[in-house]
Structure 1
Amino acid sequence: MDHFYVLKFNRRRRFVTVGAMILFVAGIFLLQSNFTLWGNASEDVAFTKGSAEEPNIALTFNISWGDEKVHDILETLKDENVKATFFLSGEWAERHPAIIEKITEDGHEIGMLGYRYKSYLDQDIEEVRRDLFHAQEVFGKLGFEDMKLLRTPSGHFNEEVLDLAKSMGFEVVHWNVSPNDWDKPVTEEIVDEVMKNTTNGDIILLHASDSATRTAPALETILPGLKNKGLEFVPISELISQAHAEIEIIE
């Protein structure tokens, strides 16, 4: 945070004023934090935004079904030399190892959506635990033994789910820009929402499942357009590392 205050007050009013100023600065910190907090104060959080001070952004894709649209998306990313993070359901991943190999060969990052793509709020916590363990097994067999990035199905979670994810060593990743590309047949609508709403530190959610029929065409405009705004694409892990480093400096 770049807020500094020099206090010069008489001895009688000093303590009252300093106390008020501490509360004021604390409020600013909460408003400008690099994280949107969900759950238990600073312990159990979902990462939803990187640093607002840096031009880095993360492009992320969810895949839970289908094997057609992802190829056009990968080609567009390669043409624009953009690296993204793909969140995959374990059920999809074990059926499409060749596509996963292509994603990683192109230099993209892999995260997981659990095993089944079913809301964790519609399951009891032990069912969620079993789903996460099953996903870990699947990704481990595919060569991702140390999977740390987790996006919950449909982005649904609560404090109990966050507690469990943390205990299993996961970083829960949400987003703060989503054009609902899976539900938009018009390319321009996807482009407009991303271009208008994306700024420093943002995490964009798009889809590479077969329901996302207009995502690849939209990317042809979005990728150069965001670059022209001075924004730089980085994997989620880099966005997280930068945000953690800045918080350590602040403290």
Structure 2
Amino acid sequence: MPKKRKTWRVMLVSKEVAIMAGCVACALIAVQFQPAASTVDDVLPALSTAVMVGQQTTEQQQPASLQSMLMKVAQYYHASPINPRVDSVWKLIPGLNGVQLNLAATLDAAKKYPNQIPLVFQQIPPNLSMQDFVAEPIYRGNPQKRQMALMINVAWGTEYLPKILSILKSNHVMATFFLDGSWTKKNPEEAKAIVADGMEVGSHAYNHPMMSRLSRSQMISQLSRTNAAIAEATGQKVSLFAPPSGDFNNLVVQVASGMKMRTILWTLDTIDWRKPNPSVIVSRIVNKRTPGALVLMHPTAPTVQALPELIALLKKDGYQLVTVSQLLSSERPVPQTLAQAQQEMSRVSKN
């Protein structure tokens, strides 16, 4: 008899999951997947209650707010894969995974963590990847990715780096530091500190040359010497190259590609090397913020002063600040919990 009772309990859960999955599937077909304009109140208590009773109710007995919220989350975050492409202005634009909510896995995770309610998404890769587009420069990430990346070119000085790293770390922000090879050779401990704080490093050539004016052998020397200096100081293998002064030609991109490095330019420029007022740096980025933007910076005094406000304003507008590699990856950002999803949907509805 106990064995039969256990089997019946499993059948109920399976039936419930099947019904819920059917509801979501129908909704995804019927809706055009535009961002939801409203929020649902009291969802977390309702979902926690449903989880605590073991999900043994029928569809009709479940809290309506639970079904509503899960369907809205599924609709809001549902997206099809996007292939990378070469734009006439922005050159190579990375692709983006599609995503869909895995309802069954989400319900299962909710039973284990009722106070957090983890959301389980499936990432669906596009048909093409960036590896199908080899020798193309990159100026930005995918514009449907609500992330930005700070790319900090380091070719002189060390005095502002500790404060910049402290600001980034305290705000839980990642960034990519493009290191000049000769600077790295002179300042290995500072380069090591950048990596120790979890930041990404890339190449900024060896001694800040105008790359387009060099021969192929000179280009290879600039990149290989810098990669060796960075590897010696940090143990990191470099895969990103930011040409000094943004100067490059097709040969530069081809040489870098042949060394398994992507040529990275920028979307927005702080022009902080001219030492403007910190408020000018903030306005140059915040007023032109856009999903997928690569933001060019340098370690200067105004940059240090501008960073806290810049980070706060971008975060307030829902941007994640990540490394260049994270921005260029095809992984689509999704919330980890139901509470995070509700917060994002609420922010969008208010805007």
Which category of TM-score, normalised to the shorter sequence, fits these structures?
0.7 to 0.9
Alignment map for 1:1-251 (pairs within 5 Å)? 30=87, 35=92, 42-144=133-235, 146-208=237-299, 212-242=300-330
- Helix, strand or coil at the partner of 1:146: coil
Rounded to whole Å, the distance in 1 between the matches of 2:246 and 2:331 is: 21
**Deviation digits for residues 134-162 of structure 1, max 9, x if unmatched?**
11221232243521111111111000111
Structure 1 residue 31: Cα displacement: 6.8
The one-letter amino acid paired with 2:159 is E
Aligned partners of 1:187 and 1:44: how far apart in 2?
36
SS of the aligned residue for 2:260 comes to coil
What's the offset of the Cα at 1:175?
Answer: 0.8
Considering only aligned residues, what root-mean-square deviation do their CA atoms show, in Å?
A: 2.5
- Using CA pairs below 8 Å that are at least 6 residues apart, which structure has the higher relative contact order? 1
How far 1:67 sits from its partner (Å)?
A: 1.0
Moved more, 42-51 or 233-242: 42-51
- Structure with the greater alpha carbon radius of gyration: 2
Measure the CA separation in 2 of the matches of 1:144 and 1:164.
Answer: 23
2: CA distance, partners of 1:29 / 1:136: 28
Distance in 1 (CA, whole Å) between partners of 2:171 and 2:134 is 37
Q: Distance in 2 between matches of 1:164 and 1:57?
A: 27
Q: What is the identity, as a one-letter code, of the residue corresponding to 1:151?
A: A
Following the alignment from structure 2 to structure 1, what is the Cα–Cα distance between the partners of residues 161 and 86?
39
Offset of residue 89 of structure 1: 0.5
Q: What one-letter code is carried by the residue in structure 1 that aligns with 2:217?
A: E
Q: 1:162 to 1:223 in 2, by over 3 A?
A: same
Corresponding position of 2:54 = none
Shift in CA distance, 100/111, structure 1 to aligned 2, threshold 3 Å: same
TM-score by length of 2: 0.56
The separation in 2 between residues aligned to 1:165 and 1:203, in whole angstroms, is: 19
- The equivalent of 1:4 in structure 2 is none
How many angstroms does 1:184 deviate by? Answer: 3.1
TM-score (norm 1): 0.77
Residue 226 of structure 1 aligns to which amino acid in structure 2? Answer: L
Distance, in Å, in 2 between the alignment partners of 1:224 and 1:178 is: 18
Structure 1's 119 and 59: CA in aligned 2 closer, same or farther, altered over 3 A?
same
Q: Secondary structure at the match of 1:94?
A: helix
Contact kept, 8 Å, 2:155 with 2:180, in 1: the verdict is: yes
Aligned-residue identity in percent: 27
Residue ranges of structure 1 left out of the alignment (5+ in a row): 1-27, 245-251
Contact 2:177 2:200 in 1 (8 A): yes
Q: Are the aligned partners of 1:64 and 1:89 in contact in 2 as well (CA < 8 Å)?
A: yes
Residue identity opposite 1:242 in structure 2: S
User: In structure 2, what is the Cα distance between the partners aligned to 1:221 and 1:57?
Assistant: 15
CA distance in 1, matches of 2:231, 2:225: 10
| Alignment partners' CA distance in 2, 1:32 and 1:149 | 21
2-side partners of 1:138 and 1:33: how far apart? 31
**Which whole-Å deviations, capped at 9, do the CAs of 1:96-145 have from their partners, x for residues lacking one?**
11112221121111111111111112322221111112112212322435
* Change beyond 3 A, Cα 1:106–1:159: same
Alignment-mate amino acid for residue 88 of structure 1: L
Counterpart amino acid of 2:238?
M
